[in-house]
Structure 1
């Protein structure tokens, strides 16, 4: 297996909890920890991933669906938590001081052979950040909780071999739905979340030729439909493998950075075919 290969998985994605795994053969990081420690362990084990490979947690912002399991997870595995001062100040998770690592925008942090880059995003939080994780030339972006598509997001998206990209709501479902006006305005008003259309526009306009995987993330339970958004993206007939990250369960583990012949057969052990996924054990 190429040393530049990355393995990625969504452990949960949505307003009920967000947690994303990115790693290589030796080490991994979690982006956010919005589900319980126990559930994180269970879901990783089901897809052949080990918590002992995880070397750090990176926190995008302080909302509860991104930090719910953070304190217990960090304490149990003695994991450093990379978090901005503003996010930490507004964070309800009680972290051990010795585990806190400062985070700032446009910062490169090396975790073994992984390089994590942080950058500011637009969202209604104290100091919200998005991340890219790279190993050699292979790069994965984690882009959720986005109020708008900004220049920084475009810059980083154009470099990615794969990305977790927010597609939070269908505009018609949101505006015709039962949410109160203030909440509809918060979601769609430029500081909240990306619509399916905004995500699609970013994808069609700025996806790089080498992008192989797109995991549509943070879908609303009430204002979106997984099949609707999947159909929207698949209708574009690109060669990018598009997946909807679930609000209820983990995704498959996807191999990023391998030749095309290795990419078509990626299957989770939970896949209906019952076949084993072609990725190595993470220990």
Structure 2
């Protein structure tokens, strides 16, 4: 990389930039609530090292995501696309900026062919990989940097993320839900999120047999109806936990979980902590807004 891309993109008071020879650059970012709008000439990858109560991502003027974002969240920032990112709490993250050849070599070695596809899916890092990312962040900020150590962690994290966390969903329109059916199902689920939603209910809404619905739903969403509904319930629970004093037991009921323990089990599996732990942390770091 001839010139520093990150030096032009990242304000100097946001963090420390380090050049990784032959691979790219990396920046250890620490900043308060803020926003950034940019279009990069290089492909990038961002790892959140701390959770954020509300993060908004707008890609090419289209909102792609808004809401709670856990530590370990990964964002792939592709070159020549306009990105607008906003966050309302402190950010601690690692931003990788890849040399073109290194990036293409990674894609080739991991046989990733759909990197620019809208079907791209990115999983949150597991705790062990997040731990390594934090080790890299500490080393970059150290006054006694070890170049070999940084280069090794940079390569390991990049390869591991592209191998285990970034992939194209195996979905397409062939055999999937018709657009109107998909729209009707999403609306039904959102409108009845507090109730028990059965496969029989979804079968009636869609007009498909249960077996056909499961196949078509998975083909369209890349997951089963049950998995999709649990995700929507969890998103609703995050909204309640961060914007009200409603008890966890009542939140579970509003979100359609069968019990308080069911919400806790699903929440911890998805976010690595219980609803009460999440709420305590949120109260500590934010001024809660009550409906």
Q: TM-score, normalised by structure 1?
A: 0.31
Larger radius of gyration: 2
More helix by share: 2
Give TM-score scaled by structure 2 length.
0.30
